[in-house]
Amino acid sequence: MISLLKTIGTNNDFRSLVDLLDEDLNGRYGTLQAGYNKYNSLDSIKNVIVAYKNNEPAGCGSFKEFDDSTIEIKRMFVKAEHRGTGLANQILCELEKWGAELGYKFSILETGIKQVEAIRFYQKNNYKQIDNFGQYAGNTNSVCFNKPLLKTSLL
């Protein structure tokens, strides 16, 4: 059974999953990853989804405000044993829905060039590659994407 919890960046399960994400990123990028750490503070993140499978934390994602109309997707991660099950898609869709409910019109994100599975995942979810934004501008190890958020109407 899958359940999704809306929470904040201080949630212990979220922090444990992010520790696993950081281990993975450190393995892929080595010392280059340290340059990204300053952009990934969890304390300021107020919008987090933690996915549970059979009451165990299995994946997570979050967003923070980039500007008045845009959210930035952050810290997407699914444990290896749950990949390929659609869990990441559920997390991302819930984050996008939440952002739209809060009045945001766009979603942006950054991922690394060595995360080819993440790049494919975002492309499959209708994200379009854009010029690197903000702190990622000029960084050849980053790939940035955006997508309009659609408001869902309740009938």
- Average pLDDT over every residue of 4-19: 95
**Of 12-26, 34-48, 128-142, minimum mean pLDDT range:** 34-48
Q: What is the pLDDT of residue 58?
A: 98
pLDDT tens digit sequence for 69-99? 999 999 999 999 999 999 999 999 999 999 9
Which own/partner contact pairs does 53-58 have at CB distance under 8 Å and 24+ positions apart?
53/1, 53/2, 53/82, 53/87, 54/1, 55/3, 57/13, 57/14, 57/16, 57/17, 58/2, 58/82, 58/87
Nearest C-alpha neighbor of 48 from the set 37, 63, 36, 66: 63
The average pLDDT across 92-109 equals: 97
Residue 17 has pLDDT above 60, yes or no: yes
Note the pLDDT of residue 32: 67
Q: Where are the domains of the chain?
A: 2-148
Candidates 3.40.50.300, 3.40.630.30, 3.40.250.10, 3.40.50.1220; CATH matching 2-148? 3.40.630.30
Q: Identify the band that residue 28 occupies on the pLDDT scale cut at 50, 70 and 90.
A: confident
pLDDT at 153 over 60: no
Evaluate if residue 111 carries a pLDDT over 50: yes
Say whether pLDDT at 138 is over 80.
Answer: yes
Average pLDDT (104-113) is 96
**pLDDT higher than 70, residue 155:** no
The 10s digit of each residue's pLDDT in 56-71 is 999 999 999 999 999 9
In whole angstroms, give the CA distance from residue 130 to residue 117: 18
CA angle 69, 71, 141 (to 5 degrees): 125
Asked if residue 152 has pLDDT above 90, the reply is no
